[in-house]
C-alpha cells in the first residue's frame, strides 16, 4: 500500500509548473481537473503510477494507500507547487472538494495542546472513525498529507478494514448495528455532503463488504445509546483494534483512505508537546474526495 514515485517521474514533476487550481462551489473545477490531467499524462510513468494508486484504493483487498512524495517536498518545499502536485494526484482518484465553506480546499491539522485530546488536532489517542459520519453523503475518500511528523516520535496513523471487522461479529451483533439507533456530533455550515443523518445505522444494508460502515468510536463516550446498541458498537470497536495496521507518516507522505472500506485514526502523540514550538509541531493537510458517478466507488 506504499507507492514510491519513479525517479524519472519525480524529475519531471519537479519541473512541472501546474497552474493555480480553481473551484466550482465546493469542488475542484472541471477545467482544473482537465488541465492537471493533461499536464501529468505527458510525464514519464505517470499513468502507471496513477493506476497503481487507484488499484490500491479500490482493487481486491485494497482500501488505502500512501503515496511517497517526500523527495518532491524536499525539492519544492511544502508550499503551493507541492500542494498542486498532491491535488493533481488526488484528482486521479476522485474529485477533490472542501465541505467547509470557511476553509480552503486543504485544511490544516496542527497540534493544539489545549484542545480535546481525542480530536484530530489534539495530542491524545484519536480512535477509529470515518470523517463526517453523520452526513447523508460522507466523503468517499479522506486524505492526509504529512508536512511534519511529531518531532518527538509519536502519533502513528492507524487503519482498519471495516468490513473485515464486521464479518468477525456475530449475526445478532450485526443486526443491532444495522438498526437506525446511532447518532454523533453536530452538523452545520457544511456543503457537498448532503443533509444531517440522525439517527443512523452503522451498517447500511448493503451487500456484505460494500457500503459505508458508518462508525466513530467517539460516540461510545459522547452519545447516549441504548445498552444493546452501545455493546454492539463496542464489539465493533474492539474488532477494529484487533485488525489494525499502524505506521508513521514521514514528511511528504500522502495517505489516501477509501472510507467505504477502511476506518482511520491516530495513536497519541509523544508526551511533552508543550515544549515543542508551534512551528515545529506535527502538521498535516486534509483534503476530501468525492467519487465520480461512473467509477463504481460509490456503489
First CA to last CA across the chain, in angstroms? Answer: 22
How does DSSP classify residue 260? T
- Can you tell me which residue has the cell 463496542? 234
Instruction: Kindly list the averaged pLDDT for each block of 10 residues, start to end, along the chain of length 299.
Output: 96 96 96 97 97 97 97 97 98 97 92 93 97 97 98 98 97 97 92 95 83 95 93 98 98 98 98 96 98 66
- For residues 145 and 237, what is the distance between their CA atoms, to the nearest angstrom? 26
Round to whole Å and give the CA distance between 185 and 223. 8
Q: Which of 196, 203, 199, 166 is nearest to 182 (CA)?
A: 199
**pTM of the predicted protein model:** 0.96
- Please state the separation of Cα 82 from the chain's center in Å: 19
Q: How far is CA 244 from the centre of its chain?
A: 15
Domain boundaries, the chain: 2-290
pLDDT at 271: 96
What per-residue string of b and e applies to 224-249 under the rule 16 or more CB within 10 Å gives b? ebeeebbebbebbbebbeeebeeeeb
Q: With beta carbons less than 8 A apart as the criterion, state whether 124 and 233 touch.
A: no
On whether the CB atoms of residues 19 and 82 are closer than 8 A, the answer is no
Q: Which residues of 50-81 are buried (b: 16+ CB within 10 A; e: fewer)?
A: bebbbebbbeeebbbbbbbbbbbbeebebeeb
Distance CA 89, CA 33 (A): 10
What is d(CA 213, CA 192) in angstroms, rounded to the nearest whole number?
Answer: 20
* The pLDDT value given to residue 299: 47
pLDDT score of 222: 87
**Per-residue b or e along 166-180, where b marks 16 or more CB atoms closer than 10 Å to that residue's CB:** beebeeebbebbeee
Distance between CA atoms of residues 171 and 287, nearest Å = 36
pLDDT of residue 296: 53
For residues 65 and 3, the answer to whether their CB atoms sit within 8 Å is yes
Please give the CATH topology (third level) of the domain spanning 2-290. Double-stranded beta-helix (3.60.130)
- Residues 151 and 260 sit within 8 Å (Cβ to Cβ): no
Q: Which residues contact 219 (CB under 8 A, 6 or more apart)?
A: 182, 183, 184, 185, 225, 233
What is the predicted pLDDT for the residue at 295? Answer: 63
Amino acid at each position: 500500500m506504499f507507492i514510491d514515485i519513479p525517479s524519472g517521474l519525480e524529475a519531471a514533476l519537479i519541473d512541472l509548473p501546474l497552474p493555480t487550481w480553481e473551484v466550482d462551489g465546493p469542488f475542484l473545477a472541471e477545467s482544473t481537473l482537465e488541465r492537471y490531467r493533461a499536464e501529468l499524462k505527458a510525464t514519464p510513468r505517470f499513468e502507471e503510477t496513477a493506476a497503481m494508486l487507484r488499484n490500491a484504493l479500490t482493487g481486491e483487498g485494497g482500501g488505502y494507500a500512501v503515496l511517497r512524495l517526500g523527495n518532491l517536498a524536499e525539492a519544492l518545499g511544502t508550499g503551493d507547487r507541492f500542494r498542486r502536485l498532491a491535488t493533481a494526484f488526488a484528482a486521479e482518484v476522485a474529485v477533490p472538494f472542501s465541505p467547509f465553506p470557511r476553509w480552503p480546499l486543504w485544511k490544516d491539522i496542527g497540534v493544539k495542546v489545549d484542545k480535546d485530546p481525542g480530536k484530530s488536532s489534539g495530542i491524545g489517542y484519536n480512535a477509529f472513525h470515518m470523517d463526517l459520519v453523520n452526513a447523508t453523503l460522507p466523503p468517499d475518500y479522506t486524505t492526509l498529507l504529512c508536512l511534519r511528523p511529531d518531532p518527538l516520535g509519536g502519533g502513528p496513523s492507524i487503519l482498519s478494514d471495516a468490513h473485515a471487522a464486521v464479518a468477525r461479529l456475530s449475526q445478532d451483533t450485526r443486526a443491532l448495528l444495522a438498526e437506525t439507533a446511532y447518532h454523533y456530533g453536530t452538523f452545520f455550515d457544511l456543503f457537498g455532503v448532503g443533509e444531517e443523518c440522525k439517527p443512523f445505522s452503522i451498517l447500511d444494508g448493503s451487500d456484505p463488504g460494500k457500503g459505508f460502515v458508518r462508525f466513530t468510536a467517539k460516540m461510545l463516550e459522547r452519545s447516549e445509546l441504548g445498552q444493546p446498541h452501545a455493546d454492539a458498537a463496542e464489539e465493533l470497536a474492539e474488532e477494529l483494534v484487533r485488525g489494525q495496521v499502524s505506521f508513521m507518516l514521514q514528511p511528504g507522505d500522502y495517505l489516501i483512505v477509501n472510507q467505504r472500506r477502511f476506518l482511520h485514526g491516530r495513536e497519541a502523540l509523544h508526551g511533552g508537546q508543550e515544549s515543542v514550538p508551534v512551528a515545529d509541531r506535527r502538521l498535516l493537510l486534509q483534503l476530501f474526495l468525492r467519487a465520480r458517478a461512473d467509477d463504481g466507488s460509490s456503489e
